[in-house]
Amino acid sequence: MRLDNSIQATSPNEPFLTKMPSLNPAKALGIVKSIATSLLVLLAFVSGAANAVSVDAHPNLQKIVDELVAEGIYTKAELVDVVAQATIQEKILDAMKNPAESKFTWGKYRKLFMKSDRIEAGAQFWREHEQDLFRAEQEYGVPAEMIVAIIGVESKFGRYKGSHKVIDSLVSLVVDFPRRSAFFAGELKHFLVLVKENDFLIDEVMGSYAGAMGYPQFIASSYRHYAVDFSADGVTDLINQPSDAIGSIANYFVENGWKRDEPVTSEGFSSVPAAIVDLANRKRVVKYTAQELRRLGGPVSELVPDEEKLNVLWLNAEEEVNNPQRSGLYTVRAGDTVCEIAESQNVSCRALMALNKIDSHGKIYRGQQLKLPADAKTSRSGKEADNSKWKVNSKQLARVGSPTIDQYFFPHENFYVITRYNQSVLYAMAVFELSKAIRDEHQRAQSVTGSD
């Protein structure tokens, strides 16, 4: 949660043995020696000595170790040992560099979640936990379907709660992911306190590659701030108790501003007046009033009071990802700037502006198709492609670069509360759509049972 990691939960396989040396059977003479070497490497690997992390070598680690010692929660020796036992996971670092959302259009992203098996499993989870969900809805005002959808997206109803040792993930990220090292050091500190508070065994707590845990995939700081013992058995356990997960998600939403009985967002519109198109943005706040939007011709439902605050969100419902490498064209999305586009396509900002006759203010508009210089990654449309079957002719350009399928929404504040869970608006919209589909399926299943 909160991080761009929701996709990972569906592919939880960390091949533990990939670091083992492989024996070549052809080298029969050396085999005894090889086995001996392997055993030594295995022993070193198991004991953590193979690539032991030293606290002193990493300022961010040092800082939290000092704090935890000063706060009397651990001794220095304990922490040095814990950190040395952690194994640096290269795969974790790779995964962090490739957040799923950055590669998807809304149309493609939503398809990942809106699958019949997930919807049916959601309705089933709802039946199994009907009482807890009802109680959470009553106490917190968060609809049952929203809680079920979150659990469905985060861990597929508890089936994929993560296959990494959280301690390994967090130490790896502190040590080898400089951009967010300080953030993960904070999470590591929370995690180390969390295991003490809850009598967990450090080595046994599993989670996602970013250290998110249990049914709701809470990171350690969220676990400590928002998790509740909803089953009232004295243990706050998000990993083994769906009831605690249900109450904790509801509490998280409320603490982040969820308003009981308030809407999330309008249905999508495929076209809206140009004045509304201009207001579309990816900011995670409500910016306009319903009255303003209506005045500009926005189709805001009459049920929404004039003073209600809304935003305008544009999403690309196309299932094809904008693929400039193939088309030689880039379709501008809400929030893009010329220089960001240029950087993403490995061309100079100036060249891109000159080619598309963009003025010095860099004014571009959503949906505009920018030509990319021939020396961009798009050389297929250039010389080398002339005699190949990949040659891109003007007809194909028109097809591949065809206008995107627009969808405009008027999100309310509750929509942006979902983005407090994971900051992608695609995530929030996917959760919302899934929640509606699960609610429908739950009602359908109930009416079938009721008529038996």
Q: What residue type is assigned to position 69 of the chain?
A: V
Listed residue (151, 162, 222, 215) closest to 190, CA to CA = 222
135 binds Ca ion (CB under 5 A): no
Helix (H, G, I), strand (E, B) or coil at 405: coil
What is the smallest separation between the CB atom of 232 and Ca ion, expressed in angstroms?
7
Choose between 24 and 240: whose C-beta lies nearer to Ca ion: 240
Q: Which is nearer to Ca ion, 176 or 229 (CB)?
A: 229
Q: Minimum distance between the CB of residue 245 and Ca ion, rounded to whole angstroms? A: 10
The reply to whether 94 sits near Ca ion by the rule CB under 5 A is: no
- Contact between 132 and Ca ion by CB under 5 A: the answer reads no
Residues 158-177 that bind Ca ion (CB under 5 A): none
Residue 229 binds Ca ion, judged by CB under 5 A: yes
Q: Look up residue 314 and give its two tokens.
A: 């544009």
Between 192 and 227, CB nearer to Ca ion: 227
CA distances from 168 to 126, 180, 209, 218, 311 (A): 33, 16, 9, 16, 40
Given 244, 318, 406, 433, the residue binding Ca ion (CB under 5 A) = 244
Stretch in the footprint of Ca ion (CB under 5 A) among 169-177, 240-248, 305-313, 339-347: 240-248
Kindly give the pairing relationship between strand 313-316 and strand 288-289. unpaired
Residue 92 sits at φ, ψ, to 5 deg, of -65, -45
Using the rule CB under 5 A, is 198 a contact of Ca ion? no
| Residue whose CB is less far from Ca ion, 245 or 425 | 245
> CB neighbours (10 Å) of residue 399?
8
User: At residue 316, what are phi and psi to the nearest 5 degrees?
Assistant: -90, 110
When the beta carbons of 101 and 244 are compared against Ca ion, the nearer one is 244
Quick note: the x/- pattern for Ca ion over 354-393, rule CB under 5 A, is ----------------------------------------
Instruction: Using CB under 5 A, pick the residue from 231, 322, 348, 368 that binds Ca ion.
Output: 231
In whole angstroms, the minimum distance from the beta carbon of 200 to Ca ion comes to 13
Separation between Cα atoms, residue 40 and residue 37, nearest integer Å: 5
Is residue 262 within 8 A of residue 256, CB to CB? The reply is: no
Stretch that binds Ca ion, among 87-95, 226-234, 286-294, 309-317 (CB under 5 A): 226-234
Q: Is 103 exposed, middle or buried (0-12, 13-18, 19+ CB in 10 A)?
A: exposed
Only one of the segments 68-76, 88-96, 128-136, 233-241 lies at the binding site for Ca ion (rule: CB under 5 A); that segment is: 233-241
Nearer to Ca ion, 105 or 248 (CB): 248
Angle 130-140/116-128 helices, nearest 10 degrees? 80
Contact present, 137 and 144 (Cβ < 8 Å):
yes
**Nearest CA among 221, 186, 239, 210 for reference residue 100:** 210
User: Per CB under 5 A, does 233 bind Ca ion?
Assistant: yes
Would you tell me which residues interact with Ca ion (CB under 5 A)? 229, 231, 233, 235, 241, 244
